[in-house]
Chain A
Amino acid sequence: MTVAPAPSLDELRARVDQMQGRPAAQPVATHPAFAGLLQLQTGSSYAVDSASLAMALMAGPSADGAWCGVVGSAEFGLEAAAAAGVELRRTILVPAPGEAWLEVTAALIDVLGVVVVAAPADISGKDVSRISARLRQRGGVLIAYGDWPRCDARVSLRDAEWVGLGRGHGHLQARRVTVEVRRGAGPARTGQLWLPDQAQVIRRAEVQPVQLRSVS
């Protein structure tokens, strides 16, 4: 007689969520460069501090067939987004929602998979919890460009190093950055990324082993 393997903690949690009538958080396709750093999940919100990071996070779900919306940013660089892997045909822009940005964001969360919002500085806690409730209910992903209270993870860029530009010669070609993902109060995960590399692809940067050079 065989004994069924004991369900794991995650499976039990999912079952509890199911019984409570709340859709369980599902993993969302994420750009492979973020493997080990961050896995996007439905119903979650993420704060980023750079437009190209927001594009890199959008690229995964967008390439997977999700519709994306960008609220409140008329400066969104479309060519860079397309190069990052965002499908522009499935992207909707609301450049200047003005006072109505909260309603617009909520309405877009209802129908789109990913909503990127350039949040105003004075966002209230009440608005955030309303948006979060809507996100969990609809299974959307919110990427806030700027600060977003009580987000699931904060993704930030550090130590950007540009390749290709000299003093008066060359042109920008590639950028090597350190991405830091901070969840709550836990320790931050960091990883080195090419954002983008010389072939305009976003990928993990191999950590170069320390090379010793003989000096005489």
Chain B
Amino acid sequence: MVLWAPDWPIVAVESSASTPAAVLHKGQVLACSQAARAEGVRRGMRRRDAQSRCPGLALHDYNPDADARAFEAVLTAIEELSPGVAPLRPGLCAINVPARFYGGEAEAAAIIAERLVRLGVWDVRAGIADGLFAAEQAARRALAQDSLVVPAGGSAQFLRDLPIDALDDLVGAPPASSASGGMVGLLRRMGLLTLGDFAALSPADVHTRFGTHGELLHRMARGLNPQPISRRQVPPEFEATLMLEPPLDLAEQIAFSVRTTAEKFVTDLAGHGLVCTTVLIEVDTDGSLATSRRWMHPRWFGPTDLVDRVRWQLQVDGAIRAPVDAVRLIPEVTEPLGDHADSLFGGGPDERVERGVARVQSIVGHEAVVSVSVQGGRGPGERQLLVPWGERPVAARAVGLPWPGSLPPPAPATVYTEPQQAMVVGAEGQAIGVTGRGMVTGEPARFRAAAGQDWQPVASWAGPWPVDDQWWDEAAARRIARFQVVGVDGSAYLMIVERGHWWIEAKYD
């Protein structure tokens, strides 16, 4: 049985079929909705022509990935009813008819169509025949939400009257492509207008003239299509669960018990040539979910890494209030083992460093040991990226962007986590500020880096460099102006002025 959802690219981009819409690929209409077709829009039409036929046409770009993603939901729904779906292309899939279970071929098609309509796919058509090609042609000739059944052995009979253009659909390629397009045109020019005419030729002649591909098409046209459908493998279940009976409430005990589960989890994945790089750990207490956290590994998870993550997750204060009765390890991202093979000279941090750092983590806690890198941002504090050791650094902001308002190098060697309060005054001791238009109100003459320190004359200074950060967000908006100030003793500071107060953001020491 072949299931066909017409105009799948349209279904994938928008759900309502009432407005005229079309999907464009390379400036040509690849698919259009029923409403657009009624206005005269056709496949293969150029953008201008389509718009002139139907001014209200909503145009979308062709996105094969989005199509495939949207179709994945359909495949999953069908798989629930009958396993072994073979996706042919987005919008078209084949299954072996579960006729006996549902009491007939047409009945099975009706049940699947009903399920898909409930999913929101209104226009789905089923074709049932001996071979894939005949079934697809039957599906194209079925009515919406209905099926067309070609009786067993009747494929050749069914195909005989179809136009030769039907071979175009078989290849599944975009229109007017490659070899078969040329071949169909040639057949038509030879006067073979129906599949029946083509099928009447002798196979040997077809092979001599058109080669192997032509012979394959000929077999299809004759209704001999022994080509079995290649079924989609149901993805194996890698989730590992540890049930604790009786429930435990000490993190160390649980971590000890979870070791064998973690080992099984890793070996199961390795058996399929996979490693897990992101895992979701869920912990149940009293039969309900207590904590769940996603962990990303800089490389991939081994059994000890998983045990560590479970322990860290449980050691967070307040994570377990009641005895734990289940721990689940759910692989979120898996990657092929081959991508992560150790290189000749080892990859990532060496074992000794990892062990030593694990010891430090056991002293001060998991979050207190961090690995570091630089991310994008305007202020020096925003550019620091600290990630707990053992987690993958994910920069919130790309470092390569221009970041207008950021300062040119050199970068300050000391970046305060909390700005330090400072005082800057002019020659007469008057307070120095920045006006609303970004002008400094006087020349800074003396400054004090901390409340208890002595006043120091300013040797040189520059600024203000105003930054109007996130003005669109009332809560996060900040208007500051940055200054660089160097004292006579050579100490240099990066200061900010916010609402008339001076702060030291970083120090060039």
Residue of chain B at shortest CB distance from A161: B490
Q: Is B152's beta carbon under 8 Å from chain A? A: no
Give the size of the chain B interface in residues (CB under 8 angstroms). 50
User: Chain A CB within 10 Å — which of B357, B386, B411, B484 has the most?
Assistant: B411
Q: Is B22's beta carbon under 8 Å from chain A? A: no
Q: Is the CB of B356 within 8 A of A50?
A: no
Residues on B lying within 8 angstroms of A by beta carbon are 349, 352-353, 355-357, 359-360, 363-364, 368-374, 380, 383-386, 389, 407-417, 440, 443, 460-463, 484, 486, 489-492, 506-509
A154 to B440, CA, bound (A): 41
Interface residues of A in 86-118 (CB under 8 A from B): 88-98, 100, 103-104, 107-108, 110-112
Subset of 28 A-B contacts with CB under 8 Å: A50-B413, A55-B413, A67-B349, A75-B416, A76-B372, A77-B412, A77-B413, A77-B415, A79-B383, A91-B371, A92-B353, A92-B389, A93-B371, A94-B364, A95-B368, A97-B364, A104-B364, A107-B359, A110-B359, A112-B356, A162-B490, A166-B462, A168-B463, A169-B462, A172-B484, A172-B508, A200-B409, A200-B410
Knowing A88-B373, A89-B373, say if A77 contacts B356 (CB, 8 Å). no
Q: Is the CB of B492 within 8 A of A51?
A: no
Interface string of A51-86 (1 = CB under 8 A from B): 110010000000000010000001111111111000
Q: How far is the CB of B4 from chain A (nearest CB, A)?
A: 52
Residue of chain A at shortest CB distance from B460: A165
Number of A-B contacts defined by CB within 8 Å: 152
B380 proximity list for chain A (CB < 8 A):
77, 79
Q: Is A175's beta carbon under 8 Å from chain B? A: yes
| Pick from A92, A96, A108: contact of B371, CB under 8 Å | A92
B489 proximity list for chain A (CB < 8 A):
160
| Pick from A50, A78, A104, A170: contact of B383, CB under 8 Å | A78
Q: Is A167's beta carbon under 8 Å from chain B? A: yes
A110 to B353, CA, bound (A): 9
Knowing A50-B509, A75-B415, A165-B484, say if A97 contacts B368 (CB, 8 Å). yes
A92 proximity list for chain B (CB < 8 A):
353, 357, 369-372, 389
Q: Is the CB of A80 within 8 A of B410?
A: yes
A179 to B409, CA, bound (A): 22
| Pick from A78, A98, A100: contact of B374, CB under 8 Å | A78
Q: Is the CB of B370 within 8 A of A88?
A: no
Q: Is the CB of A67 within 8 A of B417?
A: no
Residue of chain A at shortest CB distance from B399: A79
Knowing A55-B413, A80-B410, A170-B462, say if A104 contacts B371 (CB, 8 Å). no
Q: Is A43's beta carbon under 8 Å from chain B? A: no
Residue of chain B at shortest CB distance from A103: B363
A110 proximity list for chain B (CB < 8 A):
356, 359
Residues on A lying within 8 angstroms of B by beta carbon are 50-52, 55, 67, 74-83, 88-98, 100, 103-104, 107-108, 110-112, 159-162, 165-175, 177, 196, 200
A175 to B410, CA, bound (A): 9
A78 to B415, CA, bound (A): 9
B440 proximity list for chain A (CB < 8 A):
168
A90 proximity list for chain B (CB < 8 A):
349
User: Chain B CB within 10 Å — which of A67, A78, A93, A171 has the most?
Assistant: A78
Q: How far is the CB of B397 from chain A (nearest CB, A)?
A: 13
Q: Is the CB of B509 within 8 A of A52?
A: yes
A25 to B223, CA, bound (A): 85
A94 to B297, CA, bound (A): 19
Q: How far is the CB of A169 from chain B (nearest CB, A)?
A: 6
A88 to B486, CA, bound (A): 28
| Pick from A80, A94, A165, A174: contact of B412, CB under 8 Å | A80
Q: Is the CB of A94 within 8 A of B368?
A: yes
Residue of chain A at shortest CB distance from B486: A162
Q: Is the CB of A111 within 8 A of B352?
A: yes
A174 proximity list for chain B (CB < 8 A):
410
A143 to B369, CA, bound (A): 19
Q: Is the CB of A111 within 8 A of B460?
A: no
Knowing A52-B509, A111-B356, A172-B492, say if A100 contacts B363 (CB, 8 Å). yes
Q: Is the CB of A78 within 8 A of B408?
A: no
A100 proximity list for chain B (CB < 8 A):
363-364
A129 to B388, CA, bound (A): 31
Q: How far is the CB of A97 from chain B (nearest CB, A)?
A: 5
A83 to B240, CA, bound (A): 45
| Pick from A77, A82, A83, A162: contact of B492, CB under 8 Å | A162
Q: Is the CB of B370 within 8 A of A95?
A: yes
Q: Is the CB of B484 within 8 A of A171?
A: yes
A168 proximity list for chain B (CB < 8 A):
440, 443, 461-463
A18 to B385, CA, bound (A): 44
Given contacts A162-B508, A172-B492, 15 further A-B pairs with CB under 8 A are: A76-B414, A77-B384, A77-B415, A78-B373, A78-B415, A83-B409, A88-B374, A89-B371, A97-B368, A104-B363, A111-B355, A166-B460, A168-B443, A171-B484, A200-B410
Q: Is the CB of B363 within 8 A of A171?
A: no
Residue of chain B at shortest CB distance from A200: B409
A93 proximity list for chain B (CB < 8 A):
369-372, 386
User: Chain B CB within 10 Å — which of A83, A100, A168 has the most?
Assistant: A168
User: Chain A CB within 10 Å — which of B355, B359, B463, B491 has the most?
Assistant: B359
Q: How far is the CB of A59 from chain B (nearest CB, A)?
A: 12
B409 proximity list for chain A (CB < 8 A):
83, 200
User: Chain A CB within 10 Å — which of B355, B360, B410, B491 has the most?
Assistant: B410
Q: Is the CB of A172 within 8 A of B410?
A: yes
Residue of chain B at shortest CB distance from A98: B364
Knowing A52-B413, A165-B484, A166-B460, say if A78 contacts B368 (CB, 8 Å). no
Q: Is the CB of B486 within 8 A of A165?
A: yes
Q: Is the CB of A162 within 8 A of B462?
A: no
Q: Is the CB of A75 within 8 A of B490?
A: no
Residue of chain B at shortest CB distance from A160: B490
A162 to B410, CA, bound (A): 11
A92 to B386, CA, bound (A): 10
